[in-house]
Amino acid sequence: MTISHPTTPLVAILRGLQPTEAVAVAQALFDAGFRALEVPLNRPGALDCIASMVKLNLPGTLVGGGTMLNVDHVEAVYEAGGRLLVSPNCNPAAIRRAADLGMYCAPGVATPTEAFAALDAGAHALKLFPAEMIGHGGLKAMLSVVPAGTPMWPVGGVTPETMPGWVKAGATGFGIGGALYTPGVTIEQLSERAAAFVNTWRGLAA
């Protein structure tokens, strides 16, 4: 089974997104260079948002769910067309089911124990959460023990200004929430914020 990997490892966390704005928000983020869109399931309308964004057929873009805590969440997101699992925790059963369905899995981990449990279950990337608690030192320590090449994505409090320090510590991508999208943000504001993140990432990747 072929797993689609995000061509740009920046995940837009769209907490509180409404179905009526999902298409416009997804298009703006795509135009700015984002290629991974996550709608957390702990807000109403998340599955409708995912379904609407999937129908846009944005080239090279992974759409899926966040706060995916169990196998039922995996099944619901997959049925809506989502092919990306993001979670704040490490639930091996959920990761395993999502991987079996061909979804790209980026579960949350905060310790080496969780990191190895996630990888054993089929995770493709590790979401370091909460990043503020783990810190650069925690990321470096984690990188010293996980398999070489494991994608490590800090999530929590990430801004364009903090990205260089994380990359220097070994981060290979990011999940970006409130500094990018909050309910009520205009498309113009969203586009400006998204461009700042993408431009910073491209500069660091170069």
Q: Beta strand 10-13 with 84-86: parallel, antiparallel or unpaired?
A: unpaired
Buried b (16+ CB within 10 A) or exposed e, 150-183: bbbbbbbebebebbeebbebebbbbbbbebbbee
Name the strand (E) or helix (H) holding 63. strand 62-66
Q: What is the pLDDT of residue 2?
A: 73
Please state, in angstroms and as integers, the Cα–Cα distance from residue 7 to each residue in 10, 35, 52, 60, 139, following that order.
9, 6, 21, 7, 22
> For the segment 95-151, what is each residue's pLDDT rounded down to a tens digit?
999 999 999 999 999 999 999 999 999 999 999 999 999 999 999 999 999 999 999
List all residues 6 or more positions away from 49 whose beta carbon is below 8 Å from its beta carbon. 14, 17, 18, 19, 22, 39
Looking at the chain, the whole-number percentage of residues with pLDDT higher than 70 is 100
**What is the structure's pLDDT at 3?**
83
More confident residue, 4 or 102: 102
Active site residues: 38, 127
The three-class DSSP label of residue 117 is helix
Cβ pair 27, 194 in contact under 8 A: no
CA-based end-to-end distance of the chain: 31
Mean of per-residue pLDDT scores for the chain: 97
Indicate the fold that domain 10-205 takes in CATH. TIM Barrel (3.20.20)
Asked if residue 1 has pLDDT above 70, the reply is: no
Give the pLDDT confidence score for residue 5 in this predicted structure.
Answer: 87
Arithmetic mean of pLDDT, 187-202: 98
